[in-house]
Amino acid sequence: MDKDFTFFKVDSESKFSFQSCPFILNACTKSLGLYYDNRISMYSERRITALYSLVQGQQLNPYLRLKVRRDHIIDDALVRKCWRP
C-alpha cells in the first residue's frame, strides 16, 4: 500500500496506482490511504511552521496549549458554546 500511495502522489501519469481507482479498494485499504495522506499533510505543515518560526524569530511550539479553569469548566464551556463571533 505504501508503494501504491507513492505512485499515486508522485508518479500518477507514469505508473498505475490502485488509489486512482477507489472502487477496487476495500474500506480498510481506503482508510490506510487516508492515513498516509494525513500524515504527509501533517509533516509538511509542521515543516512549514518550523521554517516560518525560524524566519520570524519566534519560538517553535507545535502543540496546542489550553488553559482550563477547573472550578469554572462548565460555565466556561456554556459561555463558549453560546458565544458566537
Beta-carbon contacts of residue 68 (< 8 Å; ≥ 6 apart): 76
Quote the pTM value.
0.56
For residue 55, the model assigns a pLDDT of 85
Q: What digits encode the pLDDT tens for the residues 25-71?
A: 888 888 888 898 899 899 998 888 888 888 888 777 767 776 677 88
Nearest CA-CA partner of 9 in 29, 35, 32, 36: 36
Q: What are 71's three cell numbers?
A: 472550578
Q: Where are the domains positioned within the chain?
A: 2-61
19 CB neighbour count, 10 Å cutoff: 21
Nearest residue to 68 via CA among 59, 79, 76, 57: 76
- Give the whole-angstrom CA distance, residue 81 versus residue 85: 11
pLDDT of 83 strictly over 60: no
Output the pLDDT for position 4.
77
Q: Can you give the pLDDT at residue 81? A: 56
